[in-house]
Amino acid sequence: MNIVIALQKELDSKLILDFVSNYRWPAKSKFKVVHVLHPHECTSKTKREYLERFLNSFVQKVKKNTGSDDVSSVVDEGEPVGAVLRVSEYAKADMVIMGHDPAHAESHKSVSESLAQLEKCSIVIIRPPFHTGGGAKAKDTAKEEAIV
Amino acid sequence: MRVLIAIEESDCSKKVLESVLDRCWPNRSLFRIISVFEPSQVLTAYSPGLYTPDACDAIAKAEHEEFLGKQTYVNDAVELLKHHLVAAEVTGDVLTGIVSEKILEESREWRADLVICGTHSRRGLAKMFCGSVAEAVANNAECSVEIVKTKSSAAA
């Protein structure tokens, strides 16, 4: 099974890791973690290094918690929906896992909303669970906590 | 973990149930399987002048059969999950109303952590007229949502 994890926010990483760790994945499952940088996003060398460290640490946690040896990460640049579609198509993804993001002001659609519509494989949109005080309120406060 | 599973009598719902059975769940997980019966507006809004009593009876009978069919489908799904997920608590119900609204309402009232549903992946005109329940749920739910797509639904 090929799984793509679209990771945009640090807060999402904990929730996504929780989900990934609790799922009984078939043997030889492959995970590809993708972070998309917006073309206009300011990425200094320090921020890039932090991002790489963060992704590497996430990859190690996924490896440890799932037992899979085939976990890699990629940083793509461009419009997020197109970039995730590109990566998932290239990886022949059976499932895309991502956090929920607020609607984009111009298109009135969030990335997760667009991907739910356009993605050809199963998609999981992760939000904070109710028992942790999550739900809509947590969703709103978490919107600007990007990794870099 | 509280998992709400929305199903209907279709192949993609079979895939949804397979997906649920195919993984391990945290201890003390609760599962609630629902199917939503959407009654036709014909009888309530237009029947007095437009339809003969026989036609109204036929529609009402067909709808009742559809409701019973959903009830049987949900009961079977509950039994299936109980059989495979021995430690889990599984309940099921058929709700009445607009499908996406009922799923969202139930997810809030039951305080679901995860909603799982399938999708027909309609495109173009079919989507314009029918909409997509899965998309509406994914966009408006207050908890995590998993949309299970089959190869055939994805190719549609």
Query: pLDDT digits over B20-71, tens only?
Result: 998 878 778 899 999 999 887 655 555 566 777 777 778 888 888 888 999 9
ipTM of this complex prediction, to 2 decimal places: 0.76
Question: In a mutagenesis test of the B interface, which of A96, A122, A127 is the best target, namely the one with the most B β-carbons within 10 Å?
Answer: A122
In angstroms, the CA A63 to CA A75 distance is 18
- The minimal CB distance from A116 to the residues B23, B134, B144 is found for B134
Other CB atoms within 10 A of residue A58 CB:
24
Q: Phi and psi dihedrals of A87, rounded to 5? A: -65, -45
Asked if pLDDT for residue A138 goes beyond 60, the answer is no
Question: Which residues in chain A are closer than 8 Å to B154, comparing Cβ atoms?
Answer: 120-121
User: Residue type at B86?
Assistant: V
The residue-averaged pLDDT of A130-142 equals 48
- Global pTM? 0.80
Express as a percent the part of chain A with pLDDT over 90.
30
The residue-averaged pLDDT of B6-14 equals 87
- Cβ contact B70:B103 at 8 Å: no
Query: Where are the strands (E) in chain B, listed by range?
Result: 2-6, 30-37, 89-96, 114-118, 144-148
In angstroms, the CA A96 to CA A84 distance is 9
Identity of the highest mean pLDDT range in A15-29, A53-67, B41-55, B130-144: A53-67
Strand B144-148 versus strand A122-126 pairing type: antiparallel
In angstroms, the CA B22 to CA B16 distance is 10
Residue B154 in contact with partner chain A when CB distance is under 8 A: yes
Question: In a mutagenesis test of the A interface, which of B144, B146, B149 is the best target, namely the one with the most A β-carbons within 10 Å?
Answer: B144
pLDDT band at A57 (very low <50, low <70, confident <90, very high): very high
In angstroms, the CA A101 to CA A42 distance is 20
Helices (H), chain A: 10-22, 45-66, 80-90, 111-118, 136-141
The residue-averaged pLDDT of A58-67 equals 93
Express as a percent the part of chain B with pLDDT over 70.
83
- The minimal CB distance from B147 to the residues A116, A127, A135 is found for A116
